[in-house]
Amino acid sequence: MSMDAVPGCSVEGVRVVELHATDADELQRFFERAPDYFMAVNGEPATPTEAREELQGQLPTGWTCSRMYWLGYRDAEDQLVAVVNIAADLLAVGVWHIGLLLVDTRLHGSGLAQRLHADLEAWAAKNGARWLRLTVVIGNTKAERFWPKLGYVPVRTRGGITMGRQVNRVSIQVKALAGGQVDDYLRLVARDRPVAP
């Protein structure tokens, strides 16, 4: 099966490109225009090296993936309107993890995030994803409302996750792309099995 390098985009006038180290300055400016997101998840605005560090794509020790993507969504003026980070085959073959889906603040409420996600989901499924996985910071109310509407279900809560200046509790959530059940996912990714209270 040949991989499509990037997802298509169903939003007129928006194209998708892969972001690289040479895009760090532009990505940094994009991050700096999203202070609410960074305050919610890191307890501080984007650090001056946030974009460069993100584009280096370091996974936690012991974790592997087959491919890490940084995707930039550009409008007709070639400006970033959204970015996505997604790791293919994270923790198990067929599990694709969305590390970030961030839409420019001025486009919040426009439906852009939902449309980009639908395109991303179709692309991931076409390229072997059976599950989409993500982590929602508990207390990031926009994300807590957004992801369940797209069909994500929580499988585990973890505490003590240091992000920036704050220690978070997070909800690990998954969505089946090939008709699987949550139990199927948990057999595949043992670390996400819930623990007894």
Rounded CA-CA distance 15/10 in Å is 9
Is residue 1 over pLDDT 70? no
Q: Where are the alpha helices (DSSP H) in 17-79?
A: 24-32, 35-42, 50-56
Give the SS3 label for residue 13.
coil
Is residue 197 over pLDDT 70? no
* All structural domains of the chain with their residue ranges: 15-192
Digit-coded pLDDT (tens) for 17-60: 999 999 999 999 999 999 999 999 999 999 999 999 999 877 88
Digit-coded pLDDT (tens) for 58-68: 788 888 999 99
Among residues 137, 145, 139, the alpha carbon closest in space to that of 161 is found at 137
CB atoms near residue 128 (< 10 Å) = 16
What tokens appear for 8 in the block? Answer: 């298509």
* Fold topology of 15-192: Aminopeptidase (3.40.630)
Digit-coded pLDDT (tens) for 129-159: 999 999 999 999 999 999 999 999 999 999 9
Q: What's 22's DSSP letter? A: G
Rounded CA-CA distance 20/143 in Å is 26
Q: What's 180's DSSP letter? A: -
Among residues 2, 30, 4, the alpha carbon closest in space to that of 120 is found at 4
